[in-house]
Amino acid sequence: MALIRGHRSLIGVDIGSRAIKAAQLRRARGAWKVEAIASMPRATDGALLEPAEAWQLAEVLERQGFAGRNVVLAAPPEMVMAERLELPPRAAGVPIEQLARLEVARMRKCVPDSFELACWDLPTAERAAKATQVAAVACPVAGASELLDAFESSGLSVVALDTFSCALARVCASPGSAAGTVAALNLGWSAASLVVRCGEAIVYERSLHDSGLKPLLERLASDLDLEADVAEHLMFDLGLGPSRPESDDAGKVAGEARERIAEHFDALAAELRASVMYLNREYARWPVARAAVMGGGALLPGATSYLAKALELDVSEAPAADWVECPAALRPGFTAALAGSIGLAMHRP
């Protein structure tokens, strides 16, 4: 079912730990345009989606002007099995996809037909020019069925199950973004994730669970003996922006909060530097050109510029203009936190 020129896309639904984000686009004359966006807070951080929550989402989509009930979801990260495989060279009669399925089943100790699989060739790394380098992602059928049932009970029809990394990669490759090897850094609530795209292929992905916003919030609240809402205010309103005078108690707390936020991002930057060094060794002909910061963490004041300085890399918040054209009426709510849902809406069935 290909998209008809000028018609609305599927509804991309990003089920985050703290909020569910949704987006619907229209593609016309080779460009994407935002048609509708929504963000719905979750009752419990990181909980499995319940049918009642899916019903609530369906009502939100209807109120916010979404058309149709066909959605595309990202499989929950804990369900996704991602592997990098080294298979025989491609040649006539060599069943690369079948071999990839068998190899994933062997590595994960499961039955080959118990999961859905997608795979793609990787650019030839410097150290392995003779074999076929393949990236494979799989999702168990049983686990996915529970998620799909919750949605379909609400009247929403799940047309496709995608991966969050593929969604971020699409945003990186959208018109206006830089060519070459580009990294998408998603600063999410429960974890940060790094996805690197080289040409048409995702060549690397990594989750950093200690680098999410929730661990940072918990540390601020614990170390500084703050209520959660005060810690959240310091994180999202102060962040890594200019320091405030410490002439009073409030200024002192703000300074201590900024120090801890900086320590959190210093640790994240150290992990990212290690990943970039590895990639630049593996793909010396295609070094990482730039990084785009996405997710709720991109909204922290000063976070993007702080990472740019720490990484000595061209790092910028992925601007809305790089992804899609957005009408003026929707711009106040169109932020980097919607990157995942935008990338899912770009999915082509």
What is the residue range of 111's domain? 80-141
**Predicted pLDDT at 72:** 97
d(CA 279, CA 122): 13
Q: Which residue has the tokens 């037909």?
A: 113
* Helix or strand holding residue 40 (H, E): strand 31-41
The pLDDT of residue 133 is above 50: yes
Residue 2 — pLDDT band, cuts 50, 70, 90?
very low
The pLDDT of residue 301 is above 60: yes
The pLDDT of residue 34 is above 60: yes
Q: Which of 43-47, 62-66, 87-91, 281-285 has the lowest mean pLDDT?
A: 43-47
What percent of the chain is predicted at pLDDT more than 90?
65
Q: How many domains, in total, are found in the chain?
A: 2
The pLDDT of residue 319 is above 80: no
Q: Mean pLDDT over residues 276-281, rounded?
A: 93
Q: Mean pLDDT over residues 177-196, rounded?
A: 86
Residue 180 lies in a domain: no
Domain termination site, one of 113, 141, 169 = 141
Domain termination site, one of 141, 168, 190 = 141
- In 3D, which of 236, 255, 228, 215 has the Cα closest to residue 302? 236
d(CA 72, CA 337): 17
**Predicted pLDDT at 178:** 47
Residue 248 lies in a domain: yes
d(CA 236, CA 240): 9
**Predicted pLDDT at 1:** 34
The pLDDT of residue 94 is above 90: no
Q: Mean pLDDT over residues 46-67, rounded?
A: 92
Q: Is 54 helix (H, G, I), strand (E, B) or coil?
A: helix
Residue 298 lies in a domain: yes
d(CA 11, CA 25): 8
Q: Which residues pair with 39 in a beta bridge?
A: 21
Q: What is the tens place of the pLDDT at every residue in 145-167?
A: 888 888 888 999 999 999 999 99
d(CA 93, CA 75): 32
d(CA 252, CA 239): 14
Q: Which of 86-100, 222-236, 269-283 has the lowest mean pLDDT?
A: 86-100
Residue 237 lies in a domain: yes
**Predicted pLDDT at 132:** 87
Residue 319 lies in a domain: no
Q: What is the tens place of the pLDDT at every residue in 263-272?
A: 999 999 999 9
The residue that leads in pLDDT, 232 or 174, is 232
In CATH, what number is assigned to the domain containing residue 94?
3.30.1490.300
Domain termination site, one of 141, 156, 178 = 141
The token pair that represents 65 in the structure block: 């002007």
Q: What is the tens place of the pLDDT at every residue in 66-88?
A: 999 999 999 988 899 999 999 99
Q: Are residues 135 and 213 in the same domain?
A: no
Q: Mean pLDDT over residues 254-281, rounded?
A: 95
Q: Are residues 226 and 302 in the same domain?
A: yes
Q: How distant, in Å, are the alpha carbons of 111, 114, 136, 142 from that of 105?
A: 6, 9, 11, 15
Residue 262 lies in a domain: yes
**Predicted pLDDT at 48:** 80
**Predicted pLDDT at 129:** 58
